[in-house]
Structure 1
Amino acid sequence: MDLGTLADLEFEAVIFDMDGTLIDSTPAVIRSWAAWASEHDLSADQLAGFHGVPAAGIVRRLLPQERWAAALERINDLELNDVGDIDVLPGAAEALAVLPSGQSAIATSCTRPLAEARIAAARLRPPAVLVTVDDVRRGKPAPDPFLEAARRLGAHPTRCLVVEDAPMGLAAARAAGCATLAVSTTTAPDLLEADAVVVDLSAVSWRISAAGVAVRPGLSAN
C-alpha cells in the first residue's frame, strides 16, 4: 500500500472525524434522516451529498428559514434516540489506544450530546479532546473544527494529520492546512481527494517517537 507523501512525514497530532471514520453509525443516520425527510416531504435525492455536513447546515439548505428551528430540534431528537446498533470500525480502537492523549483528537459534525451518545453506544474510548459543531462558529466544510482541535492540542494545523471518510470533511481539512488520510468506509476511493486513501484504519499503523507521530502501512495492508 502506498501512503504517498504521508510516509515521509512526522505529525504533531492526529485528528479523527467520528462517523464513518471511527464508528459505523450509517444505519442509524439513514433511519433518522429518512424519517425526518418524510416528515418534511423531501426525497432521498435531496438529502444526497451532505455526508459530513452538520445537521444545521443541511436543514438550512433544504428548508425555508421559518422552519429551521423546529426542523433542527426534530432531527436532533431522532438521532439522539437511535443509537442502538453503532459499532467501532476496524482499527479505530487500536489507533486511539496507541496515540498519546495529547496527540489525538476527534472533530465531528455532531452536536456534543449526539457525539457523546454515539461514542458511548459504540463503547469507544475517546481521546481527551473532542470538538463538536457546538464548539465552533462554522461546521465542515469550513476548516473551523480542525483548527479548533489543533488549537486545543497545542499543535500547528500544518503539522496535523486529519483522518476522514467524507469529501466535505476532507475539504475542511485541506482548508485548515492539514495533511489528509481518507478511509473509504462510506465513499468510493475515487471520490476522496486526500494525500492517501485506505480501506479503513486497520490498513495503517502508528509509530510514536520524539519527533512525533508517523503513519505506516498496517498488517492488513499487506
Structure 2
Amino acid sequence: MSSHVLGRPSAFLFDCDGVLVDSLASAEAAWKSWAATYKPDFDMERDMQHGRRAMDTISELVEADLVEQAFEELLQSEMETVDGTDAIPGAVALTESLPAGRWVAVTSGPRELALARLHSAGITLPEKLVTAEDVDRGKPDPQPYERGAEHAGVPISECAVFEDAPAGIAAARAAGAGWVVGIGAGALEPWSDGSLPDVVVPDLDAVRFVDGDLVILRTLS
C-alpha cells in the first residue's frame, strides 16, 4: 500500500514494549530465569500471551500465596537487564514530533520498569503514563486505553492507538479507539474475539505526523 493519511487524531496512545522499545531479549532472559524457579515447563515463546500484565500471567501459573514473591523476583530480573533496551526504529522521531501533552504511554508493565526502559532507549518521557499499577483490569480489558484517553484529555474516539500485541489491539478496540495501528507481524494475528488493527506497519519509522495528519508510509501485508 502506498503512503496515505489514516486520520487526524487529537491524541496518541502507545504501548511500550514492542512499540516504543525493543525489550524482547531482556524479557526473555528474565522469564527464563523466573521459570526455572517457579514453572519449569513454561516457555515464553510458546506459552506467553504478550501484552498482558505480568501479574495476570503469573497468577495463572503459580499458587496464590507465591504470586507476589514470584512477581517481585521477575521484576528484579527485568530491571537488572534494562540497560540493553533500545528504541524501536522511528519511535524517538515520531514521539518528538507530536504535540506536547497529547501522547501517552499505556503499558502493561510496572511503572518502574517502563520508565527505566524508556530512559534506556533514549525516548523523552511522556507527561502521562498508564502502567499496570494504574488499572484494576489489564489488557485485553479496555480500561488501560480508557485511562490513557482521560490522561490525554480527549475522547477515546479521537485517539490513535499503537500496539504490537493482539491483547492490546483487542483492548483498544473494546475501548473505542478511533484508529488502531498495529506494529510488527505479530499484530496481524487476531485476538480470540477477532479484533484486528486498521493497518499494520513494520515499525514507527513507517509513521509520520504531518500538519495534523497521521500518515502511513508503508504497511505489512
TM-score normalised by structure 2 residue count = 0.89
* Shift of residue 135, structure 1, vs aligned partner: 1.1
Deviations 1:46-95 (A, max 9, x none): 96232111110011111121211111111111111111211011110011
Aligned-partner Cα distance in 2 for 1:153–1:18: 16
1:30 counterpart = 2:67: no
User: In the alignment, is the contact (CA less than 8 A) between 2:89 and 2:204 conserved in 1?
Assistant: yes
User: In the alignment, is the contact (CA less than 8 A) between 1:96 and 1:126 conserved in 2?
Assistant: no
Equivalent residue for 2:202? Answer: 199
Matched residue SS, 1:42: coil
Aligned-partner Cα distance in 2 for 1:104–1:208: 16
Aligned-partner Cα distance in 1 for 2:187–2:197: 12
Aligned-partner Cα distance in 2 for 1:98–1:119: 17
User: In the alignment, is the contact (CA less than 8 A) between 2:166 and 2:189 conserved in 1?
Assistant: no
Aligned-partner Cα distance in 2 for 1:207–1:138: 35
Kindly provide the amino acid, as one letter, of the partner of residue 36 in structure 1: W
Aligned length: 213
* Shift of residue 8, structure 1, vs aligned partner: 5.1
Aligned-partner Cα distance in 2 for 1:119–1:140: 20
User: In the alignment, is the contact (CA less than 8 A) between 1:13 and 1:161 conserved in 2?
Assistant: yes
Deviations 1:101-127 (A, max 9, x none): 222110001111111111121121122
Cα gap change, 1:91 to 1:119, in 2 (>3 Å): same
Equivalent residue for 1:10? Answer: 8
Equivalent residue for 1:108? Answer: 107
- Please show how residues 48-197 of structure 1 align to structure 2 within 5 Å: 48-178=47-177, 179-184=179-184, 187=186, 189-191=188-190, 193-197=196-200
* Shift of residue 191, structure 1, vs aligned partner: 4.9
Matched residue SS, 1:84: helix
Specify which of 19, 36, 39 is matched with residue 37 of structure 2: 39
Aligned-partner Cα distance in 2 for 1:125–1:21: 15
Aligned-partner Cα distance in 1 for 2:3–2:112: 35
Displaced runs of 4 or more, over 6 A: none
Aligned-partner Cα distance in 2 for 1:208–1:151: 24
Matched residue SS, 1:146: helix
TM-score normalised by structure 1 residue count = 0.89
The Cα RMSD (Å) is: 2.0
Aligned-partner Cα distance in 1 for 2:57–2:3: 33
Kindly provide the amino acid, as one letter, of the partner of residue 58 in structure 1: T
Gaps of at least 5 residues in structure 2 are: none
Cα gap change, 1:102 to 1:71, in 2 (>3 Å): same
